[in-house]
Amino acid sequence: MATSLPQEGAWPAEFREHATQLGKYLKDTLLYIERAKDQPVPYDLARTMAMGALSLVNKINNIPDVSTVHDALRMARTEAKIAAESTMQALDEIKMELKQAANTSQRTLEKIRESHEKQDETKAAAKESTDIGRTVMRLVREAKDTEQHNRSGTLRTYASVAAGNGLATSMHNPLNQLKAPPSQVLREIIVNVRNPLTVASLRAMNPRSLKAHVDRAIEQSGNEHIEKIKTASTNQLKSGDLSIKTATTSDMEILRQFAEDWEHRLGIGASVRIPTYGVLVHGIRTSSMDVERFEDMRDNILQENRPFIPNAGIKYIGWLTRTFATKSASSVIIEFTKPQDANKIIDEGLIWQGEVFQCELYDRSCRLRQCFSCQRYGHIGTQCKATTRCGYCAQEHASRECCVKSDKSVPRKCANCKGQHEAWSHQCVDRKQEMAKVKAAYAARPRYHLVPQSSAAVNQANTMVGVQKEPTGRVVREGAPSLLPGRTQQDRQGRSRSPTKRGQKRVNPGSNTVPTNGVGDEITVNIGSQRPHRIITPTRRALEALDANLMRPHGTYQADSMDVDNRQ
């Protein structure tokens, strides 16, 4: 009987099972060889044995020894220990940071609590100070009225008071509420400050520090014409701008002329305001003048009026009211860079398209101002610190956010007089009083713009329109006073050196002149007209424009203030 060969099977992957199965296979092969005796071993049998043995050897070689496993375990234990230590250290740091954060939060809460307490104390002190200031102001006014009554026997009217050119009051002195005389106006420089950070930093200074800051800026300008000039006083206005007064009018003009050398040293966004002098021209046909084409209108006006104002400059041209488009003729505001030119046009009239039109002084103080934040009169929204009031219902929210403004059935409530109407209604008692004051000031305003004597003495032949140049080649801004020489001493020999006689020659019975002892600060009206002087009274068109401007609708709030001529 023939002997069967051992069957080849699939070798297991695990080396121990592989070794067991290979051993069994070799045992069966050995029994087969013993039975076959002299027969040769088949090729397939030998090949299977060799491949099984070789596969087992490879598996055994891939098995790591004990030392390798021990080293790997030791390394893993070391790494785990290091990681645990790092984790513990990180946890300790986190605990420390949490503790510090808790301490910081506690200190912050304490500071906030202290800040609230100080804020409450400050509010109480401010309220008390305001009450005291009001009481003192009332006593001062009563004392002044009593003194004037005893001195002259007559009380001053509001028209006579409003006719004066007043200055804005200081933020630091609540008692400084009286109108400044014209001599102070002619020595004042207004510096516009448009950067909020600069406004805040200047507001933190008291008047003495503020004056020192301005003097230091002038001294560090490096300009030999102004570096030795010292200001007389410096106040910050409610708007954040600076009001600087000099000792003489000539100092004011020099500082204004070289403003570019020192204004930037006051802070970011600071610039000296160059004043303009307005003239109100009545009866201009609305179809004949397009104020949007400013340069063309300016050139035409200067060309037609060159015989009277050969070296004039114009900074602004605009209609008095917004309703000019609905009229055939209306009033125009023209602002000149020099008061002499404005006064000349007031005397001679304005020539436009071959026709002469009546002119009068335009005074910005004769305007009705209403704040659309608190709804009160006398200031605008950018200067208001009071609580916001609605113009429809008098509640503490903005008028544009009122939910009942479109509902006509809801009763209105005035935030000023508490009447049943809007805050800007013509039925308001407070508004009627303000309008009476405005009209009184309009009727009693001066006829001419004030002209400092130092400016009146300069020969107009030496001035230029637009950009001026001094002999040194320095560029001077338009509208700024020039230091160009006027008449020589020989030309002045015919003039009287007596201050009394010189004052008598300048004074005009129909003008508002205030002579002073200082030659540099004398105020005069530069008329220079060869025509008979006309007595200008408010025309019918001017009064109609004044009243019609107050009738415009208030449905939208695109600005924070309202005035008679619609100009901020």
* pLDDT tens-digit series, residues 519-567: 344 444 444 444 554 555 555 555 555 454 444 443 333 333 334 443 3
Q: pLDDT band at residue 150, thresholds of 50, 70 and 90?
A: low
Rounded distance, CA 369 to CA 376, Å? 9
The confidence score (pLDDT) of residue 7 equals 59
What integer pLDDT is reported at residue 565 of this predicted model?
Answer: 40
pLDDT value, residue 484 = 45
Q: Is the dihedral of CA 149, 153, 159, 165 positive or negative?
A: negative
CA distance 356 to 319: 18
Mean pLDDT of 247-266: 90
- Nearest Cα to 413, choosing from 405, 404, 403, 423? 423
Domain membership of residue 410 (yes or no) is yes
**Owner of token pair 């002045």:** 492
Number of domains, the chain = 3
- Predicted confidence (pLDDT) at residue 108 exceeds the cutoff of 60: yes
Tens-place pLDDT, residues 414-423: 989 989 899 9
Q: What is the pLDDT of residue 438?
A: 85
Which stretch of 37-46, 210-219, 518-527 has the lowest confidence by average pLDDT? 518-527
**How much is the pLDDT for 216?**
93
Helical H segments across 167-230, by residue range: 182-185, 196-203, 207-219
Average pLDDT on 110-123 reads 87
371 pLDDT higher than 50: yes
Q: Are residues 551 and 402 in the same domain?
A: yes
Instruction: Identify whether residues 264 and 388 lie together within a single domain.
Output: no
CA 44 from centroid of its chain's CA atoms: 103
**How many angstroms separate the CA atoms of 37 and 145, rounded?**
154
Task: Answer whether residue 555 is part of any domain.
Answer: yes
Quick one: pLDDT at residue 186?
Answer: 82
Q: Based on the domain organization, do 399 and 547 belong to the same domain? A: yes
For residue 91, the model assigns a pLDDT of 92
Q: Where are the beta strands (DSSP E) in 386-474?
A: 451-452, 468-469
Please state, rounded to an integer, the average pLDDT across all residues of the chain.
75
Rg (CA), the chain: 47
Q: Say whether pLDDT at 285 is over 50.
A: yes
How far are the Cα atoms of 277, 319, 351, 362, 448 from residue 545, in angstroms, in the given order? 20, 10, 21, 13, 21
In a domain, 331, yes or no: no
Q: What is the mean pLDDT of residues 168-175?
A: 44
Q: What is the pLDDT of residue 510?
A: 41
146-168 burial string, b = 16+ CB within 10 Å, else e?
eeeeeeeeeeeeebeebbbbbbb
- Among the three residues 33, 62, 91, which one is the final residue of a domain in this structure? 62
pLDDT at 544: 52
Instruction: Write down which residue in 5, 31, 62 finishes a domain.
Output: 62
Write down the pLDDT at residue 157: 47
Report whether pLDDT(20) > 70.
yes
205-218 mean pLDDT = 92
Task: Give residue 262's region: left, alpha or beta (phi > 0; psi -120 to 50).
Answer: alpha
Average pLDDT over residues 424-430: 90
Most confident of 57-66, 68-77, 258-267, 534-543: 258-267
**8 A C-beta contact, residue 479 and residue 337:** yes
Residue 324 lies in a domain: no
| pLDDT the model gives residue 562 | 37
Query: SS3 of 208, please?
Result: helix
Token pair of 462, please? 């030496």
220 inside domain: yes
Q: What is the DSSP string of 466-509?
A: SSEE-TT--EE-TTS------S-TTTTTTS---HHHHHHHH--T
Check whether 4 has a pLDDT greater than 50: yes
Q: Are 433 and 557 in a shared domain?
A: yes
pLDDT at res. 509: 41
Residues 557 and 412 in one domain: yes
Share of residues in the chain with pLDDT > 90 (%)? 26
Residue 335 has pLDDT above 90, yes or no: yes
Statement to judge: residues 424 and 558 lie in one domain: yes
Q: Do both 402 and 545 map to the same domain?
A: yes
278-305 average pLDDT score: 92
- pTM, whole model, 2 decimals? 0.49
Q: Is residue 8 part of a domain?
A: no
CA–CA gap between residue 381 and residue 352 (Å, rounded): 37
User: So what's the pLDDT on residue 149?
Assistant: 55
Q: What's the pLDDT score for residue 542?
A: 53
Encode 272-312 in three state secondary structure: ECCCCEEEEEEEEEHHHCCCCCHHHHHHHHHHHCCCCCCCC
What pLDDT does 3 receive?
Answer: 52
**For residue 404, what pLDDT is reported?**
86
Q: Is the pLDDT of residue 22 over 50?
A: yes
Q: Which of 248, 272, 296 is the last residue of a domain?
A: 272
Q: What is the CATH number of the domain that holds 231?
A: 3.30.70
pLDDT greater than 90 at residue 162: no
Answer whether residue 213 is part of any domain: yes
Q: Is the confidence at residue 180, as pLDDT, over 80? A: no
Mean pLDDT to the nearest integer, 243-265: 90
Specify if 530 maps to a domain: no
Domain that holds residue 439: 370-444+537-562
